[in-house]
Structure 1
Amino acid sequence: MTIPVSHLTDPTVRAFVTALNANDEQALHGLLTPDATMTDDGSDRDLREWLDREVFSSRGHMGVESEADDGRVLVATYRNDTWGEMRTKWQFTVEGGKISRFETGQA
């Protein structure tokens, strides 16, 4: 069962998922600190390059299955035009209403 994005607990994470699913690059980048970082399956990646490749140019979409840690850890079905669909885990570090780091990978 998928949790409606509007029901996600953390407002910054909710805005991130909303922007990602709407393919709204400007809104999503506006939620990140200037020095935000990320990992994919445990490897550090260039955040903006990764978002362009894995989200925006390939129409990424998250269907959230569960949340933990006050809404900052999500398990979601993630799909895009490059890789198809997979079960993923997302962990967000939020500071002052902005995401300073997220870690994602297969769940």
Structure 2
Amino acid sequence: MTVRPDQLSDPAVRAFVEAVNAGDRTAFDAALAPGATMSDDGSARDLADWSDREIFATRGHMDVESEAEGGRSLVVRYRNDAWGEMRTAWRFSVEDGRIARFDTGQA
């Protein structure tokens, strides 16, 4: 069972997932707060470099399995052309309606 992006509870997280799935860099950047940060498997990453490699250059896509914490915690089947598909967990911090931080890693 998957949760359609347009059914996600948190509007900022919904905008993030929709931007990733559309491969829309402009919408992705608009979903992020100024100075947004992230980590992957517990290690801090440069968000611009990571998103280029893991999302935009490799056609990243998020199929949301479930959401919790008001939509700010997701379990996702994430796939891209570099790594194939993997089950991942995503946690989002939202400030003023935009993503201030996200943390992702194996679920």
TM-score (norm 2): 0.99
User: Could you tell me how far 1:6 is from its partner in structure 2?
Assistant: 0.8
User: Could you tell me how far 1:2 is from its partner in structure 2?
Assistant: 0.8
User: Could you tell me how far 1:30 is from its partner in structure 2?
Assistant: 0.9
Q: Note the aligned Cα RMSD (angstroms).
A: 0.5
Question: Which amino acid in structure 2 is aligned with residue 76 of structure 1?
Answer: V
CA deviation vs aligned residue, 1:67-98 (integer Å, no higher than 9, x gap): 00000000000000000000000000000011
Q: How many residues align?
A: 107
User: Higher mean Cα deviation, 42-51 or 30-39?
Assistant: 30-39
Secondary structure in 2 matching 1:53: helix
Identity %: 63
The residue number in structure 2 matching 1:18 is: 18
The residue number in structure 1 matching 2:43 is: 43
Q: How does 1:1-107 map to 2 (within 5 A)?
A: 1-107=1-107
User: Higher mean Cα deviation, 43-52 or 29-38?
Assistant: 29-38
Regions of 4+ moved over 6 Å: none
Query: In 1, Cα distance between the equivalents of 2:93 and 2:66?
Result: 17
Question: Which amino acid in structure 2 is aligned with residue 59 of structure 1?
Answer: R
